[in-house]
Amino acid sequence: MNTAKSLPYEGIRVVEFTHMVMGPTCGMVLADLGAEVIKVEPIGHGHEGDNTRKLLGSGAGFYPLFNRNKKSLALDLKTPEGKEAVLRLIATADIVSENFKPGTMKKLGLDYEALKKINPRLIYVTLKGFLPGPYDHRTALDEVVQMMGGLAYMTGRRGDPLRAGTSVNDIMGGMFGAIGAMAALAQRAQTGEGQEVQSALFENNVFLVAQHMMQYQVTGKPAAPMPERISAWGVYDVFVVKDGEQIFLAVVSDTSWKIFCDVFNYQDLFDDPRLANNNQRVLARDWLIPLLRERLKDFSAQYLSEVFEKNALPYAPITAPHDLLDDPHLKATGGLAPLELNDGRTVNTVLLPLSLNQERLKVRQSAPHLGEHNESLLSSLGYSAEEIQKLSNPS
C-alpha cells in the first residue's frame, strides 16, 4: 500500500474531531493527498470511539470508506489529562477539523477562539448543517437539506420528493471543507496566520440546485422536476428493450441524429421536416420517444451497446453500485484498491476520482482500529509508557 513518491500535503498535520460522513470526507481528501490525519476518538464515559464504526444498513460502509489513510488517537476529553494530551497535539497541528453539533467544541474548550491562542497558525475547519444565520440552531442531515433545499423536489416527481441515492451533500460539503483548508494553507504561506474555514450542508445543497435557480431567473419559468423536465436533447432517455432490460440512449446533436438514423435505417425519421434539428426533436418528444421505444424494444441491450459504442453515440447500462466492483474500466485503471476492514476481511474501496502525474492516489493505510496509534502519537508528545497506558485506558 505504500508509495515512494511524495504527495502534495506531506508534512501537514490534521487533527480531526469528526464522525459520520461530512467531517471524515474532509479529512479523507487531505489524507489521500498526503497529510497526516489524526482522528481523535472519544473513550470513557460510555464512549467506545466514533459511533460510525457501529452503523448498520446504509451506514455500514461509512467508517472504512471515509477514514482510510488516518491514524486513531483514543482519549477521554472529559478528563483534565485527556484534554491536556489533545491540546499538546493541537499545538503541533496545521489543521483542526470538526463536525459536531454547534457548541460542542466550545464546551470542551476546543473551539477556534480558544485554540488560536495556543497555535496562531492553526487552520480550523468547521463542517456544519448551516452557515451562521437564522437556521444555524437547527439539526441538519443530508436528507433534511435535500428536502428544504430544492434537491429532493428536483429528483422526485411532482408531489413525491425523493432524496438523491447517495450522501451528496455530506460528501461534497466535506470536499468544500478540504478546498477551504487548502486555500487557507496557501494564504497562511503568505501571511503566517491561520483562520477559520466553514462549510455547510444547506449551502452546499443550494449550490447544487443553483443552475435551476438561475434557469428560473433567465427564463421566468420554474424548473420542472427531473422526471417532468423538458429535456435539452431530442433523444435522452432510458429505454426498455428485449427481455425487459433497460439501457440509457442519447442522440444529442444533428450529426449524431444522422448517424443514428443511418445505422438503424430510419430514413423516414431523418427525412421528416419536424425532426430536422435538435430543438425540433425536443418539441416532438411527445410522439418521437414512444415511436423510438416501439422500434427499439426488440433489440438486446448488448446489441444496442455495441452499435452505440461503435458509432460514438452516448449510451449507458443501468448499473447497481455493487456491480461496479467488477467494472472492467475501474479495474483496468486502478480506480479500486484493496482495503482491510477492522474485522480482518479485505475488500475493495474507491479512490479519489483524480490522478496526479497520471497516478491515482493510493490507500496507504486502511481505516484504523480504535486507538491504534495512541502509543506512537503520545510518545512523540513526551508521554511515558505509564502515562500512555493511563490515557488509553481511563477508568
**Torsion 148-151-154-156 (CA) sign:** negative
Bridge partners (DSSP) listed for residue 160? 157
Residue 244 per-residue DSSP state: G
d(CA 126, CA 173): 11
Find the helix packing angle between 80-90 and 385-392, rounded to 10°.
110
Residue 254 φ/ψ, nearest 5 degrees: -65, -35
Report the amino acid identity of residue 103: G
Residue 170 annotated in active site = yes
d(CA 310, CA 136): 53
Find the helix packing angle between 210-219 and 201-208, rounded to 10°.
50
Catalytic position from the list 76, 94, 170, 243:
170
d(CA 110, CA 17): 10
d(CA 81, CA 87): 10
Q: Whose grid coordinates read 428544504? A: 148
* Radius of gyration of the chain measured on its C-alpha atoms: 26
Active-site residue list: 170
